C-alpha cells in the first residue's frame, strides 16, 4: 500500500496546494473538492476526461491546472477548449478576482460547466458554447490559455485576434514541444518557457508563453 492511499482526497489537494506555494482559503479548498466530486460523478456517465482514478484526477487535473496560477497576473482570462473546465475552473477558484471565460464547442461539456458554476457559486466565470473560429466577444483578453488544445501554431493563429495588445498567450504542454516551436511562423515568438513541477506527478510539464 502506497503512502498516498492512506490520504483523503482533501488531504491530497491541501498538500498539493502547499507544494505549489499557493495561499488558498478554506472555502476555496471546499470548492476544489466539490469540483473534484462533480467531475468524478459526471465522468462516469458523460466521459468528460479519460482519467478515472480519483488520485490521478487530483494530480493530473486539479494540481496541474493550479500550477500556472503564478503566471496568471491578469484580469480577463480566456480558457480555450476548456473541456471539463481545465484549467479554467481551478483557476477561477484560486483567482477569484479574475474574470474567466470558458470556451468549448462540446455541448455536453459546457452543460457540465454550467452546472459546476451554479453548484460552486462561481460568480467570476462565463461559459461559451462555440468553436473558437466563431467566437466574437465584445472585448479582448489579457491572457488566453489552453491545455492540450492544439499545436502551438494553431493556438496562436486562432486566438491572436482575441488578445489585448499588451496581453499574452499561454499554452500548457507536456514534454518540451521542440517541433511545435520550430514550426511557428516569424510572426509568433516564444517569449518564455516555464518548466512546471506538479506534486505527485513525475511527467514533464511546460508552460509556453507566446507573443
Whether the Cβ atoms of residue 90 and residue 62 lie closer than 8 Å to each other: yes
Query: What is the DSSP track for 14-75?
Result: HHHHHHTT----HHHHHHHHHHHHHHHHHHHHH---S---HHHIIIIIIIHHHTTGGG---S
Q: For 22-26, 84-88, 148-152, 179-183, which range has the lowest pLDDT when averaged over its residues?
A: 148-152
CA dist., res. 65 & res. 201, Å (int): 13
Q: What is the pLDDT of residues 118-129, one digit of tens each?
A: 999 999 999 999
In a 3-state reduction of DSSP, which class is residue 9? helix
Task: Tell whether the model's pLDDT for residue 2 goes beyond 80.
Answer: no
**Do β-strands 125-129 and 205-210 pair in parallel, antiparallel, or remain unpaired?**
unpaired
Task: Tell whether the model's pLDDT for residue 133 goes beyond 60.
Answer: yes
Q: What is the pLDDT of residues 73-103, one digit of tens each?
A: 789 999 999 999 999 999 999 999 999 999 9
> pLDDT tier at 1 (50, 70, 90 boundaries)?
very low
User: What pTM value is reported for the model?
Assistant: 0.94
pLDDT of residue 4: 61
First to last CA, the chain: 47
> Where exactly are the structural domains of the chain?
3-210
What class is the 3-210 domain? Answer: alpha beta
pLDDT of residue 7: 84
CA dist., res. 78 & res. 98, Å (int): 10
CA dist., res. 86 & res. 32, Å (int): 12
Whether the Cβ atoms of residue 83 and residue 104 lie closer than 8 Å to each other: yes
Q: What is the pLDDT of residues 186-211, one digit of tens each?
A: 888 899 999 999 998 989 999 999 98
pLDDT of residue 96: 94
> pLDDT tier at 34 (50, 70, 90 boundaries)?
very high
Amino acid at each position: 500500500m502506497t503512502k498516498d492511499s492512506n490520504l483523503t482526497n482533501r488531504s491530497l489537494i491541501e498538500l498539493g496546494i502547499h507544494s505549489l506555494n499557493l495561499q488558498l482559503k478554506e472555502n476555496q479548498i471546499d470548492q476544489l473538492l466539490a469540483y473534484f466530486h462533480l467531475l468524478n460523478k459526471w465522468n462516469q456517465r458523460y466521459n468528460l476526461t479519460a482519467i478515472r482514478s480519483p488520485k490521478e484526477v487530483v494530480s493530473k487535473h486539479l494540481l496541474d491546472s493550479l500550477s500556472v496560477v503564478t503566471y496568471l497576473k491578469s484580469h480577463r482570462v480566456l480558457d480555450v477548449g476548456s473541456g471539463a473546465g481545465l484549467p479554467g475552473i481551478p483557476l477561477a477558484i484560486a483567482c477569484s478576482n479574475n474574470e474567466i471565460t470558458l470556451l468549448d464547442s462540446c455541448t455536453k461539456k459546457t452543460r457540465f460547466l454550467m452546472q459546476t458554476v451554479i453548484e460552486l457559486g462561481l460568480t467570476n466565470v462565463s461559459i461559451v458554447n462555440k468553436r473558437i473560429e466563431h467566437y466574437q466577444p465584445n472585448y479582448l483578453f489579457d491572457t488566453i490559455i489552453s491545455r492540450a488544445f492544439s499545436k502551438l501554431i494553431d493556438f496562436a493563429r486562432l486566438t491572436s485576434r482575441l488578445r489585448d495588445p499588451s496581453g499574452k498567450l499561454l499554452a500548457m504542454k507536456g514534454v518540451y514541444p521542440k517541433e511545435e516551436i520550430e514550426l511557428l511562423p516569424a510572426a509568433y515568438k516564444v517569449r518564455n518557457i516555464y518548466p512546471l513541477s506538479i506534486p505527485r506527478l513525475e511527467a514533464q510539464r511546460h508552460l509556453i508563453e507566446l507573443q
